[in-house]
Amino acid sequence: MADTIELDADFAQDPHSLYDRLRTEAPVYQVMRPDGVRAWLVTRYADALALLNDPRLTTDASRALAQFEADRARPFDAAVFKNMLQSDPPEHTRLRRLVAKAFTSRAVERMQHHIEAIADELLDNIDCCDATVPVDLVAGYAAPLPVRVICEMLGMPAHYADRFRSAFHPLLNIATHAEKAAAERDTIEVLNDVVEYKRQVPGADLLTSLIGASSDGDRLSHPELVAMAFLLITGGHETTVHLIANSVLALLDNPSQLGAVREDPSLIPNVIEEVLRFDGPANIAITRYTTADVTVGDVVIPRSEVVLIALHSANRDGDQFDNADHFDVTRSTRGHLGFGHGIHRCLGASLARMEGATALRRLLDRYDHIELDRTKPLRYQDSINIHGVAALPVWLPQHDRISS
């Protein structure tokens, strides 16, 4: 095995080939990120679970950067990433409390009918497409649905979302330091405009609430508002896009499982959980940094090191899940790490589950035949953190559509 393994564009396309090898041969191993930063990659479930809860690991990049020596590669430290996901208690606790009520199960349940209406509207638009060419379910369905939902939650006009997606794309994908710096400037410009718009045009929405929110008399600063808006938009959109698309792809690749779901639609929530385990949108968890020496198995990771916890690998660990490389919508997925674990577990998990299940249910209700277009190989997004296809072309023949 090479001294250091590079997590490059090839890895982004097929992470599991490396994970399968590392779990057996070297479950804690040094790798090189695309930005040139050396890190320790953790691939087994038990180790991942323990580290996600270990207070000796911090997600606070600004705290960790102070530990980096001048001659070491420094990770890209974008201001928009200085949010609650990349902070430790008590700051993390304070920031999370300000938005938690918007993502409670009760709050999410109230959105069910509206999400269904958005899904149906998007499928109506697809029905108007040329039936002689495949439909890209990412561009036409999986991407716009969560965008609409999070924009309406935040009270953000759709044109800001279009600007935001264009600006922030390099921040979540493989790109040069210069490209990421330019993307950060463009992203902050969009978010500044959004926050200023909501100051001028307040409404009954989450962003207006955050602008006026206080916790024990301590209001969010403007940089905190910008960072929070960034987190909510990306977290409420990017991962859900790929949860929806990956769910459709997993079923199309496993016809017997698709048949079982069509026979028993009550399995759809199980589908979402199994996709989160088998091929979820979060490949590697938010970066951690050691604040002390940490022993993981037979390896001691020194203080001031970068740690990457491979959620995808942990979720396919045969010691935790029987026949882990097999997609099975009837299995128990209890304990999967698709939404992370510990204090940084995804705040919007309930919303993502509802959007994923609703999108899948309305799609299968609408069409009794969906066929993947296999004329060209699918390509995954060029990211080591997010895992999802860039496009999902499918055939939805007019004569196979179920009349309403």
Give 222 or 388, the one with higher predicted confidence: 388
Give, in order, the Cα–Cα distances in Å from 253 to each of 201, 248, 326.
47, 9, 11
CA 291 to chain centre: 26
pLDDT (0 to 100) of residue 228: 83
CATH of domain 5-400: 1.10.630.10
Averaged pLDDT for residues 156-161: 82
Most confident of 86-95, 325-334, 394-403: 325-334
Give, in order, the Cα–Cα distances in Å from 179 to each of 106, 170, 399.
41, 7, 46
Asked if pLDDT for residue 171 goes beyond 80, the answer is no
Cα Rg, the chain, nearest whole Å: 21
Q: 314 falls in which pLDDT band (50, 70, 90)? A: very high
pLDDT in tens, 47-68: 999 999 999 999 987 766 655 5
pLDDT in tens, 190-235: 888 888 888 898 888 888 888 886 544 557 788 888 888 888 887 7
pLDDT in tens, 72-121: 444 555 566 667 778 888 888 888 887 887 788 888 888 899 999 999 99
Q: Going along 163-263, which residue ranges are E strands?
A: 214-215, 218-219
pLDDT in tens, 267-294: 999 999 999 999 999 999 999 999 999 9
**Joined tokens for residue 81:** 């990433």
Residue 139 carries which DSSP code? I
